[in-house]
Amino acid sequence: MKVLKFGGSSLADADQFKKVKDIAFSSDDRQYVVVSAPGKGVRSNHKVTDLLLMCYQLASHDLNFNEVYEIIENTYCEIARDLKLETDVKSILKEIYKQIQNGATKDFTASRGEYLNAILLSDYLGWNFVDSKDIIFFKNGELDEEKTDISISKVLREKPYSVIPGFYGIDENGKIKTFSRGGSDITGSLVANALKADIYENWTDVSGFLVADPKIVENSKTIEYITYRELRELSYMGAPVLHEDSIVPVKKNGIPINIRNTNSPKDDGTTIISSYDSKKTSSKVTGIAGKHGFSVITIEKTFMNSEFGFFRKIMSVLETNEVPIEHMPSSIDTVSLIVETGKIVNKLDKIIEEIKIYTNPKSISVEHGISLIAIVGKGMVNSKGTSGKIFTALGNSDVNIRMISQGSSELNIIIGVQDKDFERSIRAIYNAFY
Ligand code: ASP
């Protein structure tokens, strides 16, 4: 049994609804569909959720929100008209309008995009509509996992072929509460986990994740399989992926997530799995991602590594100044702190002064304009020469490596380069492995 989630671009207009129907009806095991609100599409340049939030803002200042609401109305009315749906969408829209005008909460207002879209899709597919307020529960501001899990499985097991709105549930006071933006991914994951689906298909507008950013590497290959952990590393380094929290529920039961393209349904996409088995051997490098905007603070002091408490003192300075340390490579006489530049602006002089007072170093220097690149791949553990290959490729491309860090899990190798070398480095590493 498969649980499907369709993102906003997959449901932006009637033509997209048709593609969704073809996909949902293409095999009997596709039994549950979770939907986002209509996103940007051919006809509309706006995401319905953004428009709803604008309506909320205006209404909360007693301002007229008719103009914005009209765009929302048109989006849904056009879908209903083009697909010849029976749902009285105008009445539902009128009711929602009144609720916003009468002071509906922000979360309630934002959730209506998914609510209406699910009603329309269930009509179009001829499937059940199950409201998320009856199966997803929050308590003290957090998801009530146990109650949600039990409710989903109780309600939905009885109702195969259902459409469920993503993004929201209900709290202990009976009020609608949403997840953070992009949260329909989480709803899909919760449903897949509670029903112990064989696979969670997440349908979007790309055929999976690419090995490297296509703006940097032309015709980058698609990642066929990636583990949850590898994906975490890549998304931390800026690769655009799913909502972070959406991995958590399915991970519990090891349910694979298959990222697919509604506009190109034949593509296999990327499958996120818990671990590789012998059939799904990874290439040594699964993905490459990177970010700009780092600084390196280098502290030099002879034999610092044998001085008790030296690193602790440095770390406590950064802790009290609320600067997280991304990486901390060291040698006998120097240590480099890699930090986000944005986190040290306006504080740098103070930090340097404090490090000087606490550790009495020989010198401290700071270099800005550093980019970090993560080369991620579980397969690196068992293969010799991966780092050699990376450094040879960078050397041949005339890149000066400013920092190297490899965790003992060997899941990734992180290198620091100057901003100007960023794209060249990613291309060189990609070409070395693909
Ligand atoms: N519609 C919501 C948003 O735009 C949730 C989602 O699409 O996942 O954030």
Average of per-residue pLDDT across 107-128: 98
Residue 356 confidence (pLDDT) above 90: yes
2-25 pLDDT, tens per residue? Answer: 999 999 999 999 999 999 999 999
Enumerate domains of the chain plus CATH numbers.
2-205 (3.40.1160.10), 287-433 (3.30.2130.10)
Ligand 1 pocket (Cβ < 6 Å) reads: 8, 36-37, 47, 49, 113, 166-167, 181-185
The residue nearest atom 8 of ligand 1, judged by CA position, is 182
State percent of the chain over pLDDT 70.
Answer: 97
State percent of the chain over pLDDT 90.
Answer: 81
Confidence of residue 232 (pLDDT cuts 50, 70, 90): confident
359-374 pLDDT, tens per residue? Answer: 999 999 999 999 999 9
Distance in Å, CA 271 to ligand 1 centroid? 22
What is the structure's pLDDT at 279?
Answer: 59
Atom from ligand 1 closest to the CA of residue 179: 5
Of 346, 296, 356, residue with least CA distance to 322: 346
What is the structure's pLDDT at 278?
Answer: 60
The two three-digit tokens of residue 80, written as one number: 């209903």
Distance in Å, CA 322 to ligand 1 centroid? 31
The two three-digit tokens of residue 366, written as one number: 């700071």
What is the structure's pLDDT at 210?
Answer: 92
What is the structure's pLDDT at 260?
Answer: 96
Average of per-residue pLDDT across 37-58: 92
Is residue 93 within 8 A of residue 117, CB to CB? The reply is: no
Confidence of residue 284 (pLDDT cuts 50, 70, 90): confident
Residue 282 confidence (pLDDT) above 90: no
